[in-house]
Amino acid sequence: MAIPSRLSVGLGRQDGEQTRRVLRSNQVQRGVLTNRDPFRRSLRSYSDDYALRGVPVGSAVEVTLRSRTFRPRMQVLSERSLTPLTPLSLVRVNKTTLRLTFETNASTSPYRLRVLSTRPRQTGSYRVQYRVVLRPVGGAPNSLGSPGTVPNAAGFNPLWGYGLVDAAAAVGRALGSGPLPDVPFSDPPIAGQPNATYFWGLDRIKAPEVWSRGYLGQGVTVAVVDTGIDFDHPTFQNAIWTNPKEIPNNGIDDDGNGFVDDVRGWDFVDRDNTPIDGLLGDGHGTFVAGIIAGRQVSSPTVGVQGRNLGVAPAAKIMPIRVLSNFTMLNQGDRVAAGIRYAVQNGADVINVSLGFGDGASATSLADPAIEAALQAARQAGVVVVMAAGNERRLGAIRPSEPAFAAGRDLGLAVGAIDRSGRAADFSNPAGNRPLNYVVAPGVNIFSTGYEPVVGIGQSRHTYVLGNGTSAAAPYVAGVAALLLSANPNLTPSQVEDLITSTANWQGVIG
């Protein structure tokens, strides 16, 4: 007896073979999961299959699946046995995005990708792509990170660049020795914050090993081009740069630099000499500055009072305000002016924890004014460190501008890792083209906070936990300050080479 057609609607083909489309590296494939696709009864889901092409044996591969119409699920299968592989990692970035990383070898190659839904019989549109994040060199390795594998292009990996910044190795090389020996370092947990500790970032980049040799950033000025800084925070006591050529409050531009009474930097938003985090600011610049050069923690409510907070706790911070919560008008011009001010007034390192969110674009859209300012910094011998951006969940394939200028030899781009060593799911990747890119701690970072008290013109000097590549970049800016305190004659290219060539990619995972 024939089955009425109305009963077959929505059932799909039952676990049958289907025509597979081809998916190649870095290709974005759009598809639609429908009730006409094969139905996997054991998974209670319709499915689309793709043949993965261009996957080298002995590599690690990252697959990203996105759908706004159904909750995505996926499998990678060996084409030979149709057996699902056990992934190295499977991360649900959010409700719409799933990211899977797997390792290839000769016994399971070639591969098939299967797009599925998490909930029964869901349908809808999706986008999928894959890319090789670790390629084999000199033979077939048997596991990710084994001696048989190195990142792409002589140490470069598309996810984490040259790896985790290592202050002990970088400063050791600058001094003509090997990596500085480990030193004991306590990192107490933060009460009420599961899996959070106060100083895991300092420990992970091995800053205490450098301190033990007497290098704490002394003699180095780091400009923080940001939202301004809470000058009066006790952790910044004796940490704020002062302009030695300017007489305070006399209404005269004593040093002839074009800025009147710029004793402690400049505010390019309000166009005055008080580059303090705004009344309704979020404390971004204060947070960044604490990571770079915060002195001793000073709060009876914090369990680590008296401990050094910053990577380079003897460096000076030059506050430069270019960002506001209230206006994006002429932001590129303000950032460029802030960079030029730092160069003109003697900064040795510039930290730029900001970006334009264009990391998902295949091409760079550099701001001409910022580009010219970065070139001026380079010519003046100033090291520039820039946050890579936080758009990976939105499909970022490279650092945002201005950090992408690291690919034009105009500074260092920095991504973020968490305490487990995993690349943060928000952190823009390095991309497939080698550039000066490293990673640093950027999740659950303890630093100085700024909490304005509306109506009375004061602020509470707080300490907070924060996330982002904005937190990762100042770790690297701090390491640059440590390098320059150990050897003040280093050029920007030498600092970049020391940081990238000693970065440790083993233990960093996608």
Separation of alpha carbons 432 and 335, rounded Å: 27
Give the torsion through C-alpha atoms of 258, 259, 263, 265, to 10 deg.
-100
Burial class (CB within 10 angstroms; exposed 0-12, middle 13-18, buried 19+) of 311: buried
Q: Hey, what are 44's tokens? A: 């209670």
Asked if 122 contacts 33 with a C-beta cutoff of 8 angstroms, the reply is yes
Give me the residues paired with residue 269 across strands.
none
Query: How much is the CA Rg of the chain, to the nearest whole Å?
Result: 25
Separation of alpha carbons 196 and 204, rounded Å: 14
Classify strands 48-53 and 45-46 as parallel, antiparallel or unpaired. unpaired
Residue located via tokens 């109506």: 455
Give me the residues paired with residue 447 across strands.
464
Asked if 289 contacts 450 with a C-beta cutoff of 8 angstroms, the reply is no
Nearest to 137 by CA among 121, 125, 155: 155
Length of the chain: 510
Asked if 356 contacts 365 with a C-beta cutoff of 8 angstroms, the reply is yes
- At 421 the three-state DSSP class reads coil
With both helix axes pointing from N to C terminus, report the angle between 167-174 and 492-502 in degrees, rounded to the nearest 10: 130
Residue located via tokens 């002195």: 295
Separation of alpha carbons 27 and 8, rounded Å: 35
* Cα 340 off chain centre by: 24
Give me the residues paired with residue 157 across strands.
161
Is the N-terminal amide bond of 120 cis, ω within 30° of 0? no
Q: Where are the extended beta strands (E) located within 288-338?
A: 316-321
Q: Hey, what are 242's tokens? A: 């002062």
Nearest to 241 by CA among 304, 319, 174: 319
Q: What is the DSSP string of 328-372?
A: -TTHHHHHHHHHHHHHHTT-SEEEE----S-TTSSS----HHHHH
Burial class (CB within 10 angstroms; exposed 0-12, middle 13-18, buried 19+) of 260: middle
Instruction: Give the residue numbers marked as catalytic.
Output: 226, 284, 470
